[in-house]
Amino acid sequence: MKATELYAPTLRESPAEAELLSHKLMLRAGFIRKAAGGMYSYLPLAWRTMKKIMQIIREEMDAKGGQEIMMPITQPAEIWQESGRWAVYGDEMMRLKDRHGREFALGPTHEEMITTLIRGEVKSYKQLPLMLYQIQNKYRDEIRPRFGLMRSREFVMKDLYSFDKDVDGMNISYKKMYDAYDKIFSRCGLKFRPVEADNGAIGGGHSHEFTVLAPSGESSIAYCEKCDFAASDEKAELKVIKAEAENLKDLEKIETPDCHTIEMVKNFLQVPIEKTIKAVAFQDDDGRLILAFVRGDHEVNEIKVLNSVEGALHLHMAEESAINSVGGCAGFMSPIGLKDGAVIVVDSTVMEMYNAVAGANEVDKHFINVTPRRDFDAEKIIVADIRKVQEGDPCPRCGEKLKMTRGIEVGQVFTLGNKYSKSLSATFLDENGKEQFFEMGCYGIGVGRTMAAAIEQNNDKDGIIWHPAIAPFEVVVVPVNAKEISQLEYAEKIYSELKNSGIDVLLDDRKERAGVKFKDCDLIGYPIRVTVSPKTLENDSVEIKIRKSGEILNFNRGEVVEKICAELKKLF
Ligand code: ATP
Ligand code: MG
């Protein structure tokens, strides 16, 4: 392709609307343009990259037995009503009506659609396992669409759904997809980690998020350098930390004037923070009061609290009146002496403390010498791992100190079990002629988010640095002065030769100044630039610049194609 025919409107200035580097670079380098909040047009450069990512995805899905299909984006409300998700999906779902007043949704995901597609048609265990996937636009009316393609309202997703006859089969399908994802993100040249994830509202068994490591990422990950443990901070299971045993002292209530934060108590009593217990008070959707207790230096993990309390769907900060109704006192809470009516969840590590400090459920009063195993009413409390992981916590697998890093979730794999086959009555006949629900899995990859994550991870002050597997073009040939016929012709010949040997190459035949063209090449981030200048012409050679390393090489005319192929190969 020739640059004079390519639509890639680059900008000199950094656009003010963009916060995130990948978003800025995609706007500046002429990859995307905004149509509305969270809605973007992909221009040729972006679409070329996305098509390459989609091709890698297709190859790896097909290699595992996936079959590509295409379902409608517009989905009838009835199937969502049947699964029970029409009401609970909330404002994130974009809904519309047809001319007859019939309700539809723009698909945020396709569990309902695919389950109703195969139900009644896949009748026998002999037709299983079955893996179907599609690559298409998804719609989620995110509360805060931002960061360009990272969190948009319309985005391209690959979603695959697996159907198996039993749990063992489902786990095999899960493993196949896990391995495929590993290959996909490696082939895209990304540094990533599969991270144990919370299953969220989707339900079912296990789940991993594939997370590209980047400081700008929205997810926080705990990982171990010694073993391969990695988990999202929402999920990371933690070991109980046992305090050193002490002689038990008598529980005592003391005055702690104005000490309504843990910092104040610790300073006032001159005790280490690890000797204190703090509380966070929540209410669920039904108004139930849920009191969570952790060690003073730990933080409460709301998701873990939610998972430990049966029937709770969401948590909100508690109203003071709710706290008072059980005899509690905000800022001075403890489980000791509370009236019935609150769900009390105590972190497992708290149960291992001796002679600690906790609130006394009265203004300006605390208990000292609290030993939870002795002083908390075991009948009334739930003991669970409810704290947030912190840097330095022991690895739950090997005990090594955990590290924290940030990342971008580009894909997620889930086992769903029979959640959807049950709610949508999708069954088959097993070996014994008995009716069974399908065991399902679902597996998504955000194509645009993967492209954005690649930019977040690979850039410098001059622009994007593409891995050749997903670069819009692998090589660009630049005659520094395209008005000079000899230079242009020389460059055109090299361009044709590279093209004929299967390289995805662009000829920058624009009659711009060399400086402008070089700047654009760096901004767009082609992995290899081939320069033809009066100087190289004199020696019948070309100059090569490797975008990633900045390395400059000179090749003689005769060896150009062979050498460039070799350089490109090194970058893969
Ligand atoms: P998040 O937690 O970031 O909102 P999610 O867990 O809801 O994402 P999934 O339902 O697992 O997302 O979707 C599969 C993939 O689709 C994600 O891993 C991500 O790459 C992509 N994706 C999800 N939401 C968006 C969005 N708003 N914009 C762009 N890509 C998205
Ligand atoms: Mg996800």
d(CA 8, CA 524) in angstroms, rounded, equals: 9
Mean pLDDT, rounded, for 4-28: 93
The first and second tokens of residue 81, run together, are 């009503």
| Protein residue whose Cα sits closest to atom 21 of ligand 1 | 446
Q: Sign of the C-alpha dihedral, residues 322, 326, 327, 332? A: negative
Q: Tokens 């019939």 identify what position? A: 102
Q: Is the CB of 148 under 6 A from ligand 1?
A: no
pLDDT digits (tens, 9 = 90+) for 539-553: 999 999 999 999 999
Distance (angstroms) between ligand 1 centre and the Cα of 150 equals 8
Q: Are 508 and 494 in contact (CB under 8 A)?
A: no
Whole-number Cα distances in Å, 561 to 112, 469, 530, 544, 546: 51, 18, 11, 11, 15
Task: Output the pLDDT for position 204.
Answer: 52
Residue 300: pLDDT above 50? yes
Q: Are 208 and 200 in contact (CB under 8 A)?
A: no
d(CA 39, CA 152) in angstroms, rounded, equals: 6
Q: Tokens 């998504």 identify what position? A: 444
d(CA 236, CA 211) in angstroms, rounded, equals: 15
User: Which residues are within 8 A (CB) of 176 and not within 5 positions of it... i.e. 6 or more apart?
Assistant: 64, 65, 131
Mean pLDDT, rounded, for 8-28: 92
DSSP state of 395: P
Residue 110: pLDDT above 50? yes
Task: Output the pLDDT for position 443.
Answer: 98
Closest to 400 (Cα-Cα) out of 410, 408, 390, 392: 392
Note the ligand closest to the C-alpha atom of 410. 1
Distance (angstroms) between ligand 1 centre and the Cα of 543 equals 42
Residue 201: pLDDT above 60? no
Q: Is the CB of 211 under 6 A from ligand 1?
A: no
| Protein residue whose Cα sits closest to atom 8 of ligand 1 | 409
Distance (angstroms) between ligand 2 centre and the Cα of 159 equals 12
What percent of the chain is modeled with pLDDT above 70?
A: 99
User: What one-letter code names the amino acid at 67?
Assistant: Q
Q: Are 480 and 510 in contact (CB under 8 A)?
A: no
DSSP state of 204: S
Q: Is the CB of 57 under 6 A from ligand 1?
A: no
pTM (two decimals): 0.86
CA-142 nearest atom, ligand 1: 27
Q: Tokens 């097993």 identify what position? A: 430
Give the strand pairing for 403-417 and 381-384.
unpaired
Residue 287: pLDDT above 90? yes
Closest to 154 (Cα-Cα) out of 166, 137, 134, 169: 137
pLDDT digits (tens, 9 = 90+) for 160-187: 999 999 999 999 999 999 999 999 999 9
β partners of residue 413: 208, 443
Confidence class for position 42, pLDDT limits 50, 70, 90: very high
Distance (angstroms) between ligand 2 centre and the Cα of 414 equals 9
Residue 202: pLDDT above 70? no
pLDDT, the chain, mean? 95
Confidence class for position 200, pLDDT limits 50, 70, 90: low
How many Å is the Cα radius of gyration of the chain?
A: 29
| Protein residue whose Cα sits closest to atom 13 of ligand 1 | 444
Mean pLDDT, rounded, for 203-209: 77
Q: Are 480 and 539 in contact (CB under 8 A)?
A: no
Mean pLDDT, rounded, for 554-559: 95
Mean pLDDT, rounded, for 222-235: 88
| Protein residue whose Cα sits closest to atom 18 of ligand 1 | 411
Task: Output the pLDDT for position 199.
Answer: 62
Task: Output the pLDDT for position 276.
Answer: 97
Q: How many CA atoms lie within 13 A of 372 on its CB side?
A: 31
Q: Which of 15-19, 137-141, 265-269, 430-434 has the lowest mean pLDDT?
A: 15-19
Closest to 107 (Cα-Cα) out of 83, 80, 126, 129: 80
Q: Is the CB of 159 under 6 A from ligand 1?
A: no
Mean pLDDT, rounded, for 467-474: 98
